[in-house]
Structure 1
Amino acid sequence: MPVSDFISYLIVFFVVVDPPGLVPVYIALTQGFDARRKRIIALRGTAIAFAVLVFFAYFGDVVLRSLSVGMPAFRIAGGALLFWIAFEMLFAKRAERKERDAGAALTDEDAHDLAVFPVAVPLIAGPGAITSILLLMDRAGDTVIGQASVLGAAAVVIGSVTLMLLGADVVRRMLGRTVIHTVSRVLGIVLAALAAETMISGITAIYPPAHP
């Protein structure tokens, strides 16, 4: 598997998971907890999120087939979803939505374990991340190296999330809100281009271009 493919996978996961953007939400969620409890939430939440992504990487296709959904159709729908995420990032709507979802979860009696909900799902392993790993595993094919590259890229990004959450207070002071928002907008442009490419691949799979 070429290094360029691994870098491409890495960019996709980094953009859709958005580790810097999770920091202010995580800080808001864990207010009032001591340092030990914050570490437990960060470690458990990222571990569960990675387990969710691995599950969909290997069994997501089975779920799609059981619903009679073809991969070309999923590419188009998934590309549209990624494009919407990019739109939210460009116009600073995504961070607002995450904060709103987090706040709603805190008022629900079922959200007693923040590591599972909302930290692991949907803040880390959300629809964008799940869609991405399904699309990238399909792109990698049945090769062990290709699949390992996808999972490796996901692991690297989840690992970066873990480090950022463990040092959330330090990251917030170092980067600042302005820098975090600026990076999010730049990555949104990259994600929009990747989303367009995904939708085009799905359309051409259904309607192959005519060759003279």
Structure 2
Amino acid sequence: MGFNFKEIFTATMILFAVIDIIGNIPIIIDLRKKVGHIQSEKASIIAGVIMISFLFLGASILNLIGIDVNSFAVAGSFILFFLALEMILGITLYKEEETNAITASVFPLAFPLIAGPGSLTSILSLRAEYATINIVIAIIINIIFMYIVLKTSSKIEKIIGENGISIIRKIFGVILLAIAVKLFTTNIQGLLHN
């Protein structure tokens, strides 16, 4: 199994939907307001390294600590669920730590926003079906797109405006909630049948 455009395209679209780059724009803008500056290159590189490392080592790491993919996905669905609630209800559930531009670029931006439980679980699922090289290319395409969004978030904010961002945030909050529920229901069945 080698280089395959169809696999690259499908894997790219799946990761694009799960990472939800467009839906993350309001979160990125919020973060930038809090910390003043986001290190786009650092966030993108770290997220890419986490995702590619997880592609090769994820299943082994989870097996080593005695966690199956289903448990990991269910845990991930809770994080996505709470992030979605924040977006829809306009509340803050996560305690605000003293974040600066460096830590914000890594957490929560690179992880768990870009390389989050949803995308990491998807990578493991894709690995069962697609050639590794195609998944790596799909990850790189998504990281490049994420980098562009991070770099242009202030311009995007000016174009969309405050109300536009608020509407997008709520819409994508509902989509993220749906992804969280799907991730939970799909994987809880796997856990219950074990």
Return the TM-score normalized by structure 2: 0.76
Q: Which of 80, 86, 105 is matched with 1:82 structurally?
A: 80
Residue of structure 2 in register with 1:130 after alignment: 116
Taking the aligned partners of 1:17 and 1:174, their CA distance within structure 2 comes to: 15
Residue of structure 1 in register with 2:15 after alignment: 9
Q: Can you list the C-alpha shifts for 1:141-191, whole angstroms capped at 9, x where unaligned?
A: 334447734x55544443333223323432221111221121121112112
Q: Can you list the C-alpha shifts for 1:8-44, whole angstroms capped at 9, x where unaligned?
A: 331110169713420342254236xxxxxx7xx3223
Distance 1:129-1:42 versus aligned 2 partners, 3 A rule = closer
Q: Can you list the C-alpha shifts for 1:122-154, whole angstroms capped at 9, x where unaligned?
A: 2232267331222102221334447734x5554
Distance 1:82-1:166 versus aligned 2 partners, 3 A rule = closer
Taking the aligned partners of 1:207 and 1:28, their CA distance within structure 2 comes to: 42
Residue of structure 2 in register with 1:141 after alignment: 127
- Overall identity of the aligned pairs, in %: 16
Q: Please state how far the C-alpha of 1:97 moved relative to its aligned partner.
A: 5.0
Q: For the pair shown, which has the larger CA radius of gyration, 1 or 2? A: 1
Q: Which of 27, 30, 35 is matched with 2:36 structurally?
A: 30
Taking the aligned partners of 1:2 and 1:48, their CA distance within structure 2 comes to: 21
Taking the aligned partners of 1:119 and 1:167, their CA distance within structure 2 comes to: 15
Q: Which of 72, 76, 89 is matched with 1:91 structurally?
A: 89
- 1:205 has 2:183 as partner: no
Q: Please state how far the C-alpha of 1:64 moved relative to its aligned partner.
A: 1.4
Taking the aligned partners of 2:72 and 2:164, their CA distance within structure 1 comes to: 34
| 1:119 alignment partner, SS class | helix
Residue of structure 1 in register with 2:55 after alignment: 57
In structure 1, runs of 5+ residues without a counterpart are: 32-37, 107-113
Return the TM-score normalized by structure 1: 0.71
Question: Number of residue pairs matched?
Answer: 187
Q: Which of 170, 177, 180 is matched with 1:195 structurally?
A: 180
Distance 1:28-1:201 versus aligned 2 partners, 3 A rule = closer
Taking the aligned partners of 1:169 and 1:3, their CA distance within structure 2 comes to: 29
Report if aligned partners of 1:17, 1:128 keep a CA contact under 8 Å in 2.
no
Q: Which of 53, 63, 66 is matched with 2:64 structurally?
A: 66
Alignment RMSD (CA, Å): 3.1
Letter in 2 for 1:19: I
| 1:57 alignment partner, SS class | helix
